[in-house]
A and B are shown apart, each in its own frame.
Chain A
Amino acid sequence: MTSNRAEETPQLLAEFTVSSEPGNERVALREVAAAAADCGLTLDQMERLKTAVAEATMNAIEHGNENRAEIPVDITVMRTLDAVAVTITDRGGDRADHVEREIPDLELKLRGEQRPRGWGLFLLQSMVDGMEVSTHGALHTVRLTMRTGGDDGNEGEQHAEQL
């Protein structure tokens, strides 16, 4: 039992911050991809994780830190026994942007009955195996998980070569 608990302790792969400036989500996704390159994610999983990280970081920059460059977004990448976990933390405190957004409906959007935007949270949730949101004072954290151990273990190596 003790041994299993030790094996389940998350391994920190990367910890970094980005300033809250539009476009820095691309820095985040590149850093996360590099940190998770050897975790056994398939190419498809890696692309989905990158998109989810980018969307969560955009939310943190725009809605959490309100594009104030001096306020950092903190990002960690961890490996657990069966997953890669990424946390994205801003200083925006509790807010409803992860629970109250309308579900995007393309037909309504094409008819002008729903705004063209509003895809971020939907995309984010569609891309990963798990998403948890927590708030501690001003710290608002989104935790994304992607299970490892896909059918094609070689694809992770292919991704590592492409980085």
Chain B
Amino acid sequence: METHEIENTWKNIDPAINLKSPEELNQLLASKTRQTVNKFLGLLAIDIVVGLGLISFLVITAINRLGDNFFLANNALLCLATLSALAVSVTSWYKLNNDKFNLPVRDWLEQKIKLLSGWLLGRYSKGYFIIIPVLLVMIEVSIHVYFENKPFTEVMKNEESVIGLIVGFIVALAVSYYAVGKIRKYQLKNLEFLKELFEGLGENGKV
């Protein structure tokens, strides 16, 4: 097929398009807006239920152990971490869903690459290697100490308790690292895809 034939053939596409009426377009827009809002509210609801559930547990158990300073400090730090995680997850979702699609393709790709690179390869991108084990230990200790019904220091001196905590910690850490690794791998693949497209739009035009 020669260039003019290609151009003429392409003209067959226009008449084949099923144009939608303004009412149909309005319905599609309304339904998509609803879906997006519901998705956001759903995520927010899960975040709040899980976050508030954990915070309630921490507060109630702390009230029952007002004299145990180590236990109280542990729960207070966990409360702070939970609140921070809540804030981070909501703002991340907002950032991800509010990028500017009306930019030129190259600029849009650049903006998306910067955002993802910051998360996946930035200075604090490996922070989860430290944050996850620290939080796991704190959560495990809080739950275990509370249900043992003994003071914090006494539980920590008990060999059986410590072995149980270590085993539980190793299992939970392995599961957490596996899950985070999977998510990171998927996101890194996304990042590579965007980078390839971006390079494809470079001035030297890698094809």
A binds B: no
Which residues does A use to contact B, with CB under 8 Å? none
Which residues does B use to contact A, with CB under 8 Å? none
